[in-house]
Chains A and B, each alone.
Chain A
Amino acid sequence: MKGRLLVILLAGLAIGALLAWLLVTGTTHVALVEDVIPAEPPPTPTPAPEQRITLFFAGGDGLLHPEIRTVPLPEDTAARIRIVFAELLAGPRSSLQPILPYPAELRALFVTPGGRAYLDISGPPEPLEGSATELMMVYGLVNSVLLNTEVVAVQVLFEGTERATLTGHLDLSRPLVLNKDLIGR
């Protein structure tokens, strides 16, 4: 009887020792893995590939004329629109005239899954005059965005709100599509 009890006791000790060994070696193993595998290096941003874009600026004939320049252009539509807007705001590099008559700020930007872009820009500090001013500004922006992105129509908002018109001519209450009539030859 005593012998059987001793055997059971020894067996229990052996199992306990085995468990303790497993526990210790397991922890060591995990720690080892943690030490061996190097930490993931932070992704290095790759520069967007340079591409040719077409921007529209005002000509001396009061029509829009294209100016082609090469800029880093990301794939993302919203990011592309921001680049186009920034390039338009920077102004022409040729003898053409700016289409934005004031330093407009792109306050917000939305692109719907259907390909409509809504550009919310800051309003003009002073009232603008003439349909030509309105047409050059709005269609210079609209045509430039349409030709360099997958967007199919653009609506321009001012100070976060929809404006019926800017100088009393052009209907700005809806998205606009490419206007070829205003592009000079």
Chain B
Amino acid sequence: MRKTVLIALVAILLVTTGLQAQTLPPRLEFRHQGLKIETTPVRNHVEVSPIMTLLGGEAAFSASAGVWALSLGEHLVQVAPDRRLVLVNGKLAEVQDAPISSPGGIAVRLSFLDDFILAPFGFHLEPIVGGYSIVPGVSSGKPITIRPAAADFSATTTLVLSLDRAVEATVEARPGGGVVVLLPRSAPRIESPNRLRSRRVRSVVAAPGRLEIDLSPTIGLISWNVLTGPDRVVMELGTVPPTPTPAPIIARPVERSGPRPIVIDPGHGGDDTGAVGASGLSEKELTLVIARRLAQALRSAGYPVRLTRDGDAGRALTDRAALANRLDARLFVSLHANASTVASVHGAETYYMSLDDRASDEAAQFTADLENRAGGAGLQGGSTLDLILWDMAQSEVLNESARLALRVQARLNALLGLKDRGVKQAPFVVLTGATMPAVLVEVGFLSNSEELEQLASPTHQQGLADAIALGIGDFLVGQ
């Protein structure tokens, strides 16, 4: 009885000690290149904004996307409160502890700060008295012991890498043959490497943050999984084509040389005339004329341009943004002329895409459900991550689209003295799926007799093209 009580007391003491080890002091000091700041941790999380200031970087919050953009030089880390996913230089990573909202904006755990904010910027934390020093270079990583074992079957080999702790692992086929297991921020050590016996696996060699696995000729990676209970990486090797997942069927990229173009989309075309004014001027004619003038103005300013149509040709709405995607365009600008049943309505306006907020929430819930079902260990499949990545990427693109729309609309207002109909959001088909800043410009109303007369004038058409080109230039300069 006494022994049981003693064990229980020791267990309580150990747990308490462990919690205390994670508890931050009331004040924490950070030093970097002779500068020093003191912060007050919030629920054992560290405020991010002062750290970014200390590093000479920037922490900007996008209210529309709900995401913090942490930038230093060319590096960008995007994080959001209560989200366990972080975009590091455009790549998605999953974290154990989500950032939290704080008085200073956003706060993270020390491990998060070290691994996902400082590491991408080329720094790491070194403990000092009363806090941490932020020093250049990569942390040597936490040690991890790996015990490999292989089982050869008639056509395939199952390779199991047993781990002494849970770790974020990614398996990739090497272009020249073999396999690499990426173990970020880890210092792997192979236990008993000579005990590995397999006719298809030649060797498993540890390097900082990775394992290099040599395979017999013609042997490749068929599939892989990171499993728990116990923690292990399991991969299937064999002679089948070494593609872990079937490649999606995608449209062949359009050959492009030189810098990324701006794609101008003259709305409608072919059988689809769009709106038609009382004079017979059609939307498809007008948008093509302005698009050609806009293309000329942009080319004169040194920007490469592609039109989605350069004649009276019909083109599916979804093909237009798809072309911009395939060209890896910098911008996508769709030109339209408006019409209303209310004859007095006139003016130009610029739209950018709106995402259905509730649909996004449902997608997030759906994602969470999937994660829960997978027990948090099945995220390597890609679809869940792709969904979230798409969501976050779309939020970022939307911010840029809004900025482009504002620049274009400001020029339209200023140069032409048009009635400001403002920048608005709407789910337009032609903007759906664009992976770059994309806007739809309605240059005026063909249904308004005065504006119809203006729109038919080459001078006015040139003015519109120049205004839009200047707006695009403003946006690109500010990028």
Q: Which residues of A contact B (CB under 8 A)?
A: 58-62, 97-98, 101, 129-133, 135-136, 152-153, 164-165, 167-171, 174-177, 179, 181-182
Contacts and interface: CB of A to CB of B under 8 A. Distances in A.
Contacts of A169: 336, 426, 428-430, 440
B342 A170 contact: no
B272 interface: yes
Given A168-B429, A174-B356, 20 more contacts: A58-B341, A59-B342, A60-B345, A62-B340, A97-B342, A129-B275, A130-B339, A130-B445, A132-B345, A165-B429, A168-B267, A169-B336, A170-B426, A171-B427, A171-B428, A176-B356, A176-B427, A177-B358, A181-B425, A181-B426
B356 A62 contact: no
A60 B338 contact: no
18 contacts: A60-B342, A61-B421, A98-B341, A129-B276, A131-B440, A132-B339, A132-B345, A133-B339, A133-B341, A136-B341, A153-B356, A153-B358, A164-B429, A167-B275, A168-B272, A176-B427, A181-B426, A182-B426
Contact of B341 (A97, A153, A170, A171): A97
A177 B347 CA distance: 26
B427 A170 contact: yes
Given A168-B267, A169-B429, A179-B354, A131 B342 contact: no
Contacts of A136: 340-341
B340 A133 contact: yes
Contacts of A59: 342
A174 B427 contact: yes
Contacts of B74: none
Contact of B447 (A130, A175, A176): A130
Interface residues of B, number: 38
Nearest to B359: A174
Q: Identify the 7 closest CB pairs spanning chains A and B, nearest first.
A: A130-B339, A62-B345, A181-B424, A129-B275, A129-B339, A132-B340, A171-B427
Given A62-B340, A130-B339, A179 B430 contact: no
A59 B342 CA distance: 8
A170 B345 contact: no
A152 B358 CA distance: 8
A176 B338 CA distance: 22
A153 B421 CA distance: 26
Given A62-B421, A153-B356, A164-B429, A131 B442 contact: yes
Interface of B: 267-268, 272, 274-276, 283, 317, 336, 338-342, 344-345, 347, 351, 354, 356-359, 421-422, 424-430, 432, 440, 442, 445-447
A175 B356 contact: yes
Nearest to A179: B426
A177 B357 contact: yes
A137 B235 CA distance: 56
Contacts of A61: 345, 421
B160 to A, nearest CB: 44
Most buried by B among A130, A167, A182: A130
Contacts of B345: 60-62, 132
Nearest to B316: A164
B353 to A, nearest CB: 9
Contacts of A97: 341-342
Contact of A171 (B422, B429, B447): B429
Nearest to B357: A177
Contacts of A135: 426
A153 B338 CA distance: 26
B338 A170 contact: no
A164 B283 CA distance: 20
Contacts of B446: 129-130
A130 B338 contact: yes
Contacts of B358: 152-153, 177
A171 B442 CA distance: 17
A179 B427 CA distance: 10
B31 to A, nearest CB: 47
A158 B403 CA distance: 35
